[in-house]
Structure 1
Amino acid sequence: MATLDGSSRQVNLGQGIAVRAPGLRGRADAHNVAPGAETRAPEVDGSGAALDAALTQEGFLRLRVITLDVAPVPQAPAGELRAPISDVPGMEVTVPDLGEDVAQVLLAVDENGVVSWNFPVDSGDALAPTTRGSGDVVRFIVPAFASAPDAGEAAETRGVLGLIGRKVLELVALPLAELVVPPLAGAAARLWESKSRIARARSFTPANYTSGDVPSLADADWERLASGRSLWFVHGTFVNTDSAFRAFPSDLLAALSDHYGGRVAAIDHHTLGIDPIGNADLVRELVPDGVQIEADIVCHSRGGLVGRALAGQGGDPVFDVRRIVHVASANHGTALATPNNLVPFIDRITTMVNLIPDGPAAVVETALTSVLVVVKIIAKYGLVGIPGLAAMDSAGDFLHGFNSTELPAEQFAIAADFSPSGGWRAMAVKNVQNVVVDRVFGDLANDLVVPTAGVYQGDDAMQVREDRRLVLPKARGVYHGSFFGQRDVATQIASWLTG
């Protein structure tokens, strides 16, 4: 155990690891958790079982866990270290360079369960994930803030990724042999999704909607869906159908199923490697010849763009769509989808998973394996465009063309303005300059992933009438991943579809 005294001196933790933490004082220790090593503190886990499984599945190796029990030095001057991307006070962590064949990433879980992915920096403290260390070490600069929830808003004692109440850093490595992929980020994402995700249409019933173990639609299923108007659910980024909609009230889904004569289905689609028009084209290939589908659509996040593409936005329609209900849809994009914000994007998604109380294993696994693919891409290619995410770039070319024409379908929208509290407060407290929220969105109301107003209006043809909107205020505490667990949201969806 080493002592940090608030100065800028480098403190050695052993095993070739050193920490420099200006403005923080307390204790730090490094634990060897590499395969085959005798773990010094097996109860200390920065990632937790869920992420451990995802790391193993995606070829990462856990090497070290660094624990820090620290507090800010009162009235300490601003530190000379600034974390890349977020530009907040940071602490430096150096680890042994494992050579050209291994990429290293440092995962940090702070006192409130907020997660950040940290990539190596160069000698100028700029993010440089594709470079090896200078000399015999690799350097990271990790956000160093230490914040506490307001009185009465105590954080949970443990999130799914590890201990809360102390700062935990987990060093993981990826042998670059695991990154034998085509020499483009988009091709890498497509290759992973082709092996790990099924692009398909599936049934969506009160009995099976929370399960991923559901057969794809057969020709007879398509013909039944074509016998009357059908209802389709379309998920968003990093997830699939069963993880995205599992909180939807089963009794309301049963009522909707009755209304549509049992003709309810869903689209599982790739969210990284191709754009929404490409998603729609793949669905077109699934529809048997001669089958015409009349549909209503409920969509979430990036799924809003896929739903509109199915209705004919940006190309020929796949379905004859009457109504689309957008739930937190990225209709006007999100600044998180710009290449420079890829790290805040995956930080935010990982934090959401971590702070879901007793999050279902399916949700955790699906989201984290997808995040780790983006971690791989950043580790190999740096901050580059990924086609499925770039389609949501609010400043990108895709949305500019996609939103240039009106869509004849009736469109409805549900959005929220989220105000962090409790464990989330570390994402927006003043002393860290709004690390995750305001540094991305500025003063725009948002649900942590998309701007609130961007769900239903913008400076283009994509507009949703005011009488077809439900906007949840800050007091509700609804964020991007929690809409379908709100009964009034599900009730409003059902009302719009059946009215």
Structure 2
Amino acid sequence: MTVQLLVPGREIPTRAEADSELKKFDLEVETTHAVQIEAAARGRGAEIELKGLEESDLLELQYEDGVCEWLRADELRSRLGQEQRGETTAIRVPSTLPMAATRGGVDLALTGIRVLKTQFGDVLGKLLKDAGIDIGAKLLAKGGAKLIVQHFESKLNPAGLYHLRPDGRCGDLVDAGTSLPTSDDPYLVLLHGTFSSIQGSFGTLFCSPDQSIPTPQAQSLQTHYGARIFGLEHRTLSVSPIQNALDLVQQLPRGARLHLVSHSRGGLIGDLLTASQLTQQNLEPFYRQQRTEEAEQLTQLSRYLREKELRIERFVRVACPARGTNLVSQRLDRYLSVLLNLIGMIPAVQTTPLYSFAKATILSLIQQRTDPRALPGLEAMMPTAPLIQLLNHSGVTTGTDLAVIAGDIEGGSLLRRLGILATDLFYWQDHDFVVQSSSMFKGLDRTRGVYYSFEKGPRITHFNYFANPQSRQRIHDWLIREGGEAPQGFQKLAGEPIPELVRSALRAPKADAPVIFVIPDLMATQLRRNDRCLWLDLDELASGALEQLALNGKQQEVLVGDLFAPSYQPILNYLAKRFDVRPFPYDWRRSLLETAEQLAAVVSMELQSHGRPIYLLAHGSGGLAARAMIAQHNDLWRRLVARNGRLVMVGTPQRGTHFALQLLSGQGRPSELLTLLHPQRGQSDADHEQPDGANEPSGAKAKARKGKSAASKAAAADRSSVAAIACTWPGLLELLPSGTAQKVSVAWLQQRDITKQNLQETMAALSALLTLPDGKIADLTHGVDPAHMCIVAGSGTWTAQSADPDQDALVLQGNDAGDGVTSLPSALLAGVQTWYLRSTHGDLIHQQAVLPAIAELIEHGSTNLLSQTPERDIASAVTREAPQPAPLYPTAEETIAAVLGFQSPKIVAKESVRLRVAVVHGNIAYAKQPVAVGHYDGDMIAGGEAALDRLLDNRLSIRNAMHIYPGKEGTVEFVRGTSGTFPGVLIIGLGEIGGILPDVLTKGITEVLLRLAMYVL
């Protein structure tokens, strides 16, 4: 099927010859069409028709400042769609391309497009043919990508251990099969990163960017180490870090003292060099996925490390994807484009074979739509990789020290454009364009702790750490420090918190203190078997504990533990000052009706033992258990309220929650994290070499799933195993949204393979839900007593409100009218007074500011500390699809936060950047800087905005009439003045009239100032 492009601009002549540098790597790349898009012609003028393109043709999209993106023609069609032109269809390419699928107002202006034809040279073509791979196919068969990359890598310096000259360049290669000479002094060994080399990663550690002046740090290191500075030149794509580590160890002398400096993926090699005590249990993640070859390599590596008794005394790990990087698996073409742009910005690399190697490899991988799992070096960095699990939650500890150098790009014009290109990859996470900052801090547990230095600024990119004088000095100081004290500029990283339980021994209550039962939310109670914590211990989950929690008729006895402290310790401590506090842990997997009976039993016993008031404080689904108790034991409830008792419900989903549907369908952040922790089975090494071509989305919902790689689709299959377990929990099934939404959800789940794995129990439970008019939750109509109930509801966090069932997935729609779990419509009960605050679901119950209000509601049934008016009208909330940032390999803190519904703090707190604001009384016509104005969606241009329109020759009105004027939430525009006197207007879309919120305004101002910066810088 051919592709036709309609491009605004003018076609420019192209040379028929192929890129000579790429030909050296046996790849012929010819430019067949080139279109220049001039700034003056954007939005007007003739269009160029580019006909007869193949779907597999590569397109080079050129943006301002030389930033480029490479993608296939069919991928551009998937992104932009196509329109009918007579009997043919065409892709209309706009002058600016949107870069964020989930937010408006983020785009890049095109300056040109080139169409590239690629063809393998004779030598590579013969290699593929001899391997039985059809080089005429649009997508090469299994194994083709690895063979291509191996051929490209063979053009680089031979792999091995090199002695480094004073300028950091490779000197003599240590002969294979021989070891370095024994020395009583330490060796400094450098481990480079992905798509790089010793020179590419560490060149600026030794010399200035133009290679003319030695750095003072390099001169000092030369004095300190002498001739004992070496670098490992290794293959980063076709070979795994495990094999790289094996190759290095075999060339190190017995008893060697080692100081390591790593960059990027090289840090995984460094971590492996400290893993000398691996056991068969540690290697279970590999055996479960039938990765026996890698498991045997690790066993061999561990044996070598013990035999050679290596001493790693210093380790500086720079920008390592220790928890993986989801960029590899999420959008490989976009990730590789960002990578190639960054490599091309390194002065010492621009004209070297390394850049040609990177370009040849990246263009080939994009053109072949390669699954990253086909390349061991890339697959090892995916959060789902067993290597990442081994290095994070395997029970392996090491006594070696570790200094982490981490960073975050912040500011800069050219790099800001590159950041916009990567918007969909990062979702506002801190990053250096290649690795998320939060991934850089983890790795093996270290008994001596971890120290870190965090850099941020406009020059912090993945390939620029060693050019940064401050980072370079920190690396130097760590290596040559005396004694055990950390040098200036390093901080100790806080240890990984364990899932603390609430302290059962709260302060002793007064004899006449009223009693309060605290009923926790779904998943907020520990579950145990014997002396093992099945929920929520990450090492146990990684060993398969989730399977033992399935209620499928085969389960063994599970004991209920205590409540998790992160959510409930603050409120328990606060209430203990005036109440006799009784936490009520329960097995949240089981039916809410079963939990209600247990609650009724303890409340009845309490009523019989004394005459004090008894209150109930319930969080989340705990409120439904309390209402079920009231509905089934109304006489008991009457006795309780006779003593002035009441029920306070915080974030309770009175009509169910789509959060339950997310868990049952394997979607949402908790499911993503549990999937990464849950051991996957049956994925052989061969399975990791499937090309991506057969996995194109199709059908009506293709656009919603566009851009997903084969790796992400394989991850969907992994998520089904977690969802299959969740589908055995009646307590979760009962939380499905009530009414029509529940029937749609149940019907969809009944058709899925995940429910068919659960024998009859799950199917029967699903069918039972349909027998009730509106579901089990809505059947609790008798459990409502407005005179003795209060509700606290949260908002401001994206919360699913509806689900559009599809053959392959549920497309969830939601808005900020909710706390992330419970939507505002579901939180309300007719006649029951409700108080509101801006909060996530978990933070509703534990943030310090809300505790006094909850205490007042318990005692008095009213409070002035919270508002009884929601921040926005529910109907005005802007609906959008769920944000989908793919997670890294989870930490304990992140998993607890995701499961319990609160925000986990960043490892390194980011300083807020404040704008200077001046209030001026005067005529806006004399403004010296652009004037910012907000505009509601659908509103007219009037007042001060109309005055600005007149100053701009009615250009605002023209945009508004063309329906391209900002108004919807997230849309912005900068309209420059035409004269030399008035600078222009910054327009911020505010969304629905009356629906403005602080975060909408903050994001709008941020986006519009970025738009201004793109014109100014």
- Normalised by the size of structure 1, how large is the TM-score? 0.71
- Which residue of 1 is the match for residue 74 of structure 2? 121
| 3-state DSSP of counterpart to 1:246 | helix
Are 1:29 and 2:17 an aligned pair? no
Note the alpha carbon deviations across 1:241-261, whole angstroms, 9 max, x for none: 012111114331221122224
Distance 1:380-1:283 versus aligned 2 partners, 3 A rule: same
CA-based RMSD of the aligned residues comes to 3.8
2:269 aligned with 1:306: yes
Cα contact 1:235–1:241 (8 A) shared by 2: yes
What amino acid maps onto 1:479 in structure 2? T
Describe the shift of the 1:119–1:146 C-alpha distance in structure 2 as closer, same or farther (beyond 3 A). Answer: closer
Match among 397, 402, 407 for residue 398 of structure 2 = 407
Q: Displacement of 1:465 after TM fit?
A: 4.6
The match for 1:435 is 421
> In 2 relative to 1, CA 52–360 (structure 1 residues): closer, same or farther, beyond 3 Å?
farther
Question: Matched residues in 2 for 1:174 and 1:493: separation?
Answer: 43
Alignment partners' CA distance in 1, 2:447 and 2:379: 21
Question: Which of 329, 341, 357 does residue 351 from structure 1 map onto?
Answer: 341
Quote how far apart the aligned CAs of 1:110 are.
1.4
Match of 2:146 among 186, 190, 194: 186
Match of 1:248 in 2: 205
Deviation at 1:389? 0.9
Residue deviations 1:441-468, cap 9 Å, x none?
223211111111211137x7479956x2
Aligned to 1:454: 439
Alignment-derived partner of residue 245 in structure 2 = 280
Q: Is the 8 A contact 1:337 1:392 kept in 2?
A: yes
Kindly state the Cα deviation for residue 31 of structure 1 after the two structures are TM-superposed.
Answer: 2.0
The change in CA–CA distance for 1:97 and 1:446 in structure 2 (over 3 A counts) is closer
SS of 1:172's partner is strand
Amino acid at match of 1:34: A
Alignment of 1:62-101 (within 5 A): 62-71=30-39, 94-96=50-52
Q: Please say if residues 296 and 497 of structure 1, whose CA atoms lie closer than 8 Å, have aligned partners that are also in contact.
A: yes
Q: SS state of the match for residue 394, structure 1?
A: coil
Does residue 1:61 correspond to 2:29, yes or no? yes
* Contact kept in structure 1, 2:54 and 2:73, CA below 8 Å: no
In the TM superposition, residue 125 of structure 1 has moved relative to its aligned partner by 2.8
Pick the aligned partner of 2:96 from 128, 131, 145.
Answer: 145
Match of 1:107 among 56, 60, 66: 60
* Higher mean C-alpha displacement, 301-310 vs 165-174: 165-174
**Residue by residue, what CA displacement relative to the aligned partner does 1:14-41 show, whole Å, maximum 9, x if unpaired?**
xx996324xxx5x2204231139xxxxx
* Structure 1 CA distance for aligned equivalents of residues 159 and 16 of structure 2: 36
Q: Tell me the TM-score normalised to structure 2 length.
A: 0.36
Tell me which residue corresponds to 2:704. Answer: none
Equivalences, count: 407
Contact 1:29/1:68, CA 8 A, preserved across alignment: yes
1:122 to 1:378, Cα distance in 2 relative to 1, 3 A: closer
Q: State the match for 2:118 in structure 1.
A: 173
| Cα distance in 2, alignment partners of residues 389 and 65 from structure 1 | 32
In structure 1, how many angstroms separate the alpha carbons of the residues matched to 2:121 and 2:178? 44
**For 2:154 and 2:91, how far apart are their aligned partners in 1?**
33
**For residue 371 of structure 2, what is the aligned residue in structure 1?**
383
Read off the aligned partner of 2:194 and give its amino acid letter.
Answer: T
SS of match in other structure, 2:267: helix
Whole-Å Cα distance in 2 between the matches of residues 447 and 292 of structure 1?
A: 36
Which AA in structure 1 matches 2:341?
T
Whole-angstrom CA distance in 2 between matches of 1:70 and 1:416? 36
Matching of residue 231 in structure 1 with residue 191 in structure 2 = no
Verify the 8 A CA contact 2:325 2:383 in the aligned structure 1: yes
Q: 2:322 aligns with which of 320, 331, 348?
A: 331
Change (3 A) 1:74 1:200: closer
Indicate if the aligned counterparts of 2:5 and 2:93 stay in contact, CA closer than 8 A. no
- 1:332 Cα deviation from its structure 2 partner: 1.5
Task: Specify the structure having the higher radius of gyration (Cα).
Answer: 2
Unaligned runs of 5+ in 2: 81-87, 99-108, 132-141, 207-213, 277-297, 482-1017
8 Å CA contact retained: 2:163, 2:231: yes
Which secondary structure state, in structure 1, belongs to the residue aligned with residue 397 of structure 2? coil
Deviations 1:264-312 (A, max 9, x none): 111001000111111111223444xx64422010010011111222333
- Kept in 1: contact 2:5–2:51 (CA 8 A): no
Aligned to 1:86: none
CA distance in 1, matches of 2:48, 2:371: 21
C-alpha distance in structure 2 between counterparts of 1:52 and 1:138, whole Å: 35
Hey, what does 2:160 align to over in structure 1?
200
Contact 1:200 1:269 in 2 (8 A): yes
Measured in 2, the distance between the counterparts of 1:372 and 1:311 equals: 34
Give the number of the structure with larger relative contact order, counting CA–CA contacts within 8 Å between residues 6 or more apart.
1
CA contact (8 A) 1:106 1:140 kept: no
Does the 8 A contact of 1:107 with 1:118 survive in 2?
yes
Q: Distance in 2 between matches of 1:264 and 1:32?
A: 47
Cα 1:70–1:462 shift into 2, 3 Å = farther
Alignment partner, residue 491 of structure 1: 473
Mapped to 1, the partners of 2:369 and 2:180 lie a distance apart of: 45
Counterpart residue identity of residue 378, structure 2: L
**1:19 partner amino acid:** L
- Provide, for residues 64-107 of structure 1, a one-character-per-residue CA deviation record: whole Å limited to 9, x for no partner: 2413224499999xxxxxxxxxxxxxx997453579xxx63222
Are residues 107 and 308 of structure 1, via their aligned partners in 2, closer, same or farther at CA, if it must alter by over 3 Å? same
Counterpart of 1:79? none
Paired with 2:173 and 2:52, the residues of 1 have a C-alpha distance of 48
Amino acid at match of 1:435: L
Rounded Cα–Cα distance in structure 1 between residues aligned with 2:164 and 2:60: 36
Structure 2 CA distance for aligned equivalents of residues 281 and 122 of structure 1: 39
> Which residue number in structure 2 is paired with residue 6 of structure 1?
none
- In structure 2, what is the Cα distance between the partners aligned to 1:381 and 1:495? 44
Q: In structure 2, what is the Cα distance between the partners aligned to 1:497 and 1:362?
A: 30
Residue of 255, 259, 263 corresponding to 1:296? 259
1:425 aligns with 2:370: no
Residue matched to 1:445: 430
Q: Cα distance 1:20–1:282, how it changes in 2: closer, same or farther (>3 A)?
A: same
Q: Which amino acid aligns with 1:360?
A: A
Asked whether the equivalents of residues 234 and 299 of structure 1 are also in contact (C-alpha less than 8 Å), the reply is: yes
Amino acid at match of 1:198: P
Query: Is the 2:182–2:254 contact (alpha carbons within 8 Å) kept by the matching residues of 1?
Result: no
Query: Does the CA-based 8 Å contact 2:191-2:231 persist in structure 1?
Result: yes
Which of the numbers 448, 453, 461 marks the counterpart of 1:470?
A: 453
Whether the aligned pair in 2 keeps the contact of 1:330 and 1:392 (CA below 8 Å) is yes
Partner Cα separation in structure 2 for residue 375 and residue 233 of structure 1: 28
8 Å Cα contact 2:401-2:446 kept in structure 1: no
Unaligned runs of 5+ in 1: 1-15, 37-50, 77-90, 128-136, 148-163, 429-433
1:243 touches 1:362 (CA, 8 Å); kept in 2? no
Matched, 1:19 2:1: no
The structure-2 alpha-carbon separation of the partners of 1:497 and 1:372, relative to structure 1 and needing over 3 Å to count, comes to same
**What amino acid maps onto 1:415 in structure 2?**
A
- 2 CA distance for matches of 1:19 and 1:120? 9
Counterpart Cα distance in 1 of 2:371 and 2:275: 32
Change (3 A) 1:175 1:96: farther
Residue 426 of structure 1: SS of its match in structure 2? helix
Q: Structure 1 or 2: larger helix share?
A: 2
In the TM superposition, residue 371 of structure 1 has moved relative to its aligned partner by 3.9
The structure-2 alpha-carbon separation of the partners of 1:435 and 1:486, relative to structure 1 and needing over 3 Å to count, comes to closer
Q: What SS does the aligned partner of 2:368 have?
A: helix
Change (3 A) 1:242 1:362: farther
Once the 2 structures are TM-superposed, how far is the Cα of residue 222 of structure 1 from its aligned partner?
A: 4.6
Give how far 1:334 is off: 1.1
